[in-house]
A and B are shown apart, each in its own frame.
With several copies, the nearest count.
Chain A
Amino acid sequence: PAADLTTIRVAVGGAGCLCYLPTMLAEQIGAYKKNGLAVEIANLKGGSQALTAVLGGSADVVSGYFDHTVVIQAKQKVLTAFVAYDRLPGLVLAVSPKTTGVASLKDLVGKKVGVSAPGSSTDFFLKYLLRKDGDDPGSVAVIGVGLDATAVAAMEQGMVDAAVMLDPAVTVLETKYPGLKLLSDTRTEADTLRVFGGQYPGGVLYAPPDWIAKHEKETQALADAMVETLQWLHAHSPEEIAAKMPDELVGPDKKLYVAALKSAMAMYSPTGLMDEKGAQAVIDLFSQSDPDIAKAHVDLSKTYTNRFAAAADAKLGIKN
Chain B
Amino acid sequence: MRMSRLIDDGTSVAVTSAKPRLSLVTALQILVFVVLVAAWQLGAALGWIDPFFFSRPSDIAAKIGEWLVTGYLWPHLAVTLTEALLAFVIGTVSGVACGLAFARIELLAAVFDPYIRILNALPRVILAPILILWFGLGMASKVALGVTLVFFIVFFNTFQGIREVDPVVRNNARMLQASDRQLLRHVYLPSAMAWIFSSLHTSIGFALVGAVVGEYIGAARGIGYVVAQAQGVFDTTSVFAGLILTSAVVLVIDLGIHRLERHLLRWRPRI
The minimal Cβ–Cβ distance linking A104 to chain B, given in whole angstroms, is: 23
Within 8 A of A (CB), among B199-221: 216-220
- Which secondary structure dominates where chain B touches chain A? helix
Name the residue in B136, B137, B229, B230 with the highest tally of chain A Cβ atoms < 10 Å from its Cβ.
B137
**Residues of chain A at interface, number, CB under 8 A:** 65
- Supposing A149-B129, A252-B237 touch, asked if A11 and B218 sit within 8 A by C-beta, the answer is yes
A237 CB-CB contact with B under 8 Å: no
Residues of B near A72 (CB, < 8 A) are 234
Chain A contacts with B in 48-85, Cβ cutoff 8 A: 48-53, 55-59, 71-72, 74-77
- The smallest beta-carbon distance between B212 and chain A, in angstroms, is 13
Which residue in chain A gives the minimum CB-CB distance to B134? A56
Contact B218 A145 (CB under 8 A): yes
Pick the residue among A15, A58, A77 that contacts B137 (CB under 8 A): A58
Q: In the bound complex, what is the Cα–Cα distance between A207 and B270 (angstroms)? A: 60
A141's closest neighbor in chain B, by CB?
B220
- Chain A CB within 8 A of B53 CB: yes
Expressed in whole angstroms, the Cα–Cα distance for A256 and B233 within the complex equals: 10
Does B231 belong to the interface (CB within 8 Å)?
Answer: yes
Cross-chain contact A119 with B129 (CB below 8 angstroms): no
A172, B236: Cα distance in complex, Å? 13
By a CB distance below 8 angstroms, the chain B residues around A75 are 52, 234
Give Cα A257–Cα B137 distance, bound, in whole angstroms: 27
Q: Which of B53, B135, B220 contacts A142 (CB 8 A)?
A: B220
Tell me, yes or no, whether A154 is within 8 Å of chain B by CB: yes
Determine whether B111 belongs to the interface, using a CB cutoff of 8 Å to chain A. no
Interface members, chain B 149-201 (any A CB < 8 Å): none
Map CB proximity to B onto A138-174 as digits: 1 under 8 Å, 0 otherwise: 0001111111111011100101100000001100100
Contact (Cβ within 8 A) A120 B232: yes
Determine if A144 and B219 form an interchain contact, defined as CB atoms under 8 angstroms apart.
yes
Instruction: Choose one: A53, A57, A154, A168; the contact of B234 (CB below 8 Å).
Output: A168
Q: How far is the CB of B234 from chain A (nearest CB, A)?
A: 5
Interface size class of B (residues with CB under 8 A): 20 to 34
Pick the contact of B231 from A44, A143, A148 — CB < 8 Å?
A: A148
Find out whether the CB atom of B53 lies under 8 angstroms from the CB atom of A149: yes
A51 to B231, CA, bound (A): 11
Q: Tell me the bound Cα distance from A119 to B228 in angstroms.
A: 7
A228 at the interface (CB under 8 A from B): no
Q: Does A103 contact B (CB under 8 A)?
A: no
- Are B218 and A48 neighbours in the complex by a CB distance under 8 Å? no
A148-B234 Cα distance, complex, nearest whole Å: 7
Contact A11 B232 (CB under 8 A): no
Q: Cα distance A148–B141 when bound, in Å?
A: 17
Mark contacts of B118-156 with chain A using CB atoms, 8 A cut-off: 1 yes-contact digit, 0 otherwise. Answer: 000000000011001111111001000000000000000
B238 at the interface (CB under 8 A from A): yes
Residue from A9, A40, A118, A290 in contact with B228 in the complex, judged by beta carbons closer than 8 Å: A118
- Please determine whether A112 and B218 come into contact, CB atoms closer than 8 angstroms: no
Check if B236 sits within 8 Å of A149, measured CB to CB. Answer: yes
Q: B133–A153 contact, CB under 8 A?
A: yes
Q: Is the beta-carbon distance between B137 and A145 smaller than 8 angstroms?
A: yes
Q: Is the CB of B238 within 8 A of A248?
A: yes
* Interfacial chain A residues near B237, Cβ < 8 Å: 252
List residues of chain B with CB within 8 A of the CB of A118: 225, 228-229, 232
A102 at interface, CB cutoff 8 A: no
Which residue of chain B has the shortest Cβ distance to A249 in the bound complex? B233
Q: State how many angstroms separate the Cβ of B73 from the closest Cβ of chain A.
A: 11
Query: Which A residue's beta carbon lies closest to that of B66?
Result: A247
Encode A108-137 as 1/0 by CB contact (under 8 A) with B: 000010000111100100000000000000
B contact residues around A46 at 8 Å (CB): 232
By a CB distance below 8 angstroms, the chain B residues around A9 are 137
Interface string of A1-28 (1 = CB under 8 A from B): 0000000010100111100000000000
Given A71-B233, A144-B216, A150-B128, 5 further pairs, Cβ under 8 A: A11-B137, A43-B218, A58-B135, A145-B218, A150-B132
A-B residue pairs in contact (CB < 8 Å), sample of 25: A9-B137, A14-B232, A16-B229, A40-B220, A41-B220, A43-B218, A50-B218, A53-B129, A53-B132, A53-B133, A53-B137, A58-B133, A58-B135, A58-B138, A119-B232, A123-B232, A142-B220, A152-B52, A153-B53, A157-B133, A160-B137, A248-B235, A248-B238, A250-B233, A251-B234
Closest CB pairs A-B (n = 8): A16-B232, A119-B232, A251-B233, A56-B133, A118-B229, A44-B218, A119-B229, A58-B136
Seen from chain A, the residues whose Cβ lies within 8 Å of a Cβ on chain B are: 9, 11, 14-17, 40-46, 48-53, 55-59, 71-72, 74-77, 112, 117-120, 123, 141-150, 152-154, 157, 159-160, 168-169, 172, 248-253, 256-257, 290, 292
